[in-house]
Amino acid sequence: MQKLVAYLGPEGTFTESAAIKHSPDAKLKPYPSISSVVSAITDGEAEEGIVPIENSLQGSVNDTLDLLIQHPKTFIRGELVLPVEHCLLVKRGSKCEDIRVIYSHPQALAQCRNYLEANFFGVVTVASLSTAAAADQVKNSKEIDAAIGTTRAASLYGLEILEKRIQDNQYNVTRFAVIGPSDHEPTGRDKTSLCFSFEDDRPGLLYGVMKQFADLEINLGKIESRPTGKSLGQYIFLVDLDGHRAGPAVARAIEYLDKETSWFRVFGSYPRYE
């Protein structure tokens, strides 16, 4: 039976591109939100899901992190990193000087701000639900409008690409998480994502955890915090580290977290994207 992979839709978005790259032979199904992708996994509708988890410019995708915290039966089992390449899309035959409105997702508009100010100063920009939705708006508009979107969106919606790679930062990339009902077996080139919090608020708690990682010679790729949602000043700490949870060093660190924190959860161990 063909594997079903859920992804944050609609078609023509960067997340669909990540899903195609991850599993080109699978049946890909778009879902309208990150939470609905997670629900597809927990309800058994899909075997895997693809969601954005981090952008090199905007940072972490908080909706994804919060849902991983809230759903202990959903795990990260892989990751992909894709370059973000924005294109200016128009209906065929449209000219730059005639463009009235430019549509796109707020993040895409922000990532092309310098380009827009230099080339379309005074042109109205309008936020859309996604870059693909922006392309659909241009397709159905009776005016000469433009969208910032992907090359695939241009193909799907019958639009022309006026200019490629219009993003201000050419090193803009997004990391996508492959989620499922379990994480990945060890491969020898793995990373682990986990989170933890403390009930108490006293000096040295976080230092103790960081020292444990250092003593075990575990390299940390990222550490950040999210509010617990319970009260001001209470945070959940999220960590990406080198190694698999089944390895001796990471297993010892997890044992320490189980004893010294009030709550912790392993999001999963999975192959590190090369």
pLDDT digits (tens, 9 = 90+) for 252-263: 999 999 998 989
CB 97 within 8 A of CB 146: no
* 87-163: CATH number: 3.40.190.10
CB 224 within 8 A of CB 202: no
CATH code matching the domain that covers 190-271, chosen among 3.30.70.20, 3.40.50.720, 3.40.50.300, 3.30.70.260: 3.30.70.260
Neighbour-count burial of 201, counting CB atoms closer than 10 A to its CB (0-12 exposed, 13-18 middle, 19+ buried): exposed
Domain 4-84+172-180 falls in which CATH fold? D-Maltodextrin-Binding Protein; domain 2 (3.40.190)
Torsion angle, CA of 228/265/44/24, rounded to 10 degrees?
100
240 contact partners, CB below 8 Å, separation of at least 6: 191, 192, 193, 220, 221, 222, 223
Q: Taking 80 as the threshold, does the pLDDT of residue 230 lie above it?
A: no
Catalytic positions: 174, 176
- Same CATH topology for 4-84+172-180 and 87-163? yes
pLDDT digits (tens, 9 = 90+) for 167-196: 999 888 999 999 999 999 999 999 999 999
Domain edges within the chain: 4-84+172-180, 87-163, 190-271
Task: Classify residue 202 by its DSSP letter.
Answer: -
Write the CA distances from 77 to 67, 102, 167, integer angstroms.
15, 37, 30
Residue 151 pLDDT level (bands cut at 50, 70, 90): very high
Q: Taking 90 as the threshold, does the pLDDT of residue 222 lie above it?
A: yes
Crossing angle of the two packed helices 205-215 and 248-260, in degrees rounded to 10:
160
What mean pLDDT is predicted for residues 84-109? 92
**CA pair distance 196, 28, nearest whole angstrom:** 33
Phi-psi region of 12 (alpha: psi -120 to 50; beta: other; left: phi over 0): left
235-242 and 101-104 strand pairing: unpaired
pTM of the model: 0.88
**CA pair distance 173, 171, nearest whole angstrom:** 6
Alpha helices in 113-197 (DSSP H): 113-119, 131-140, 151-156
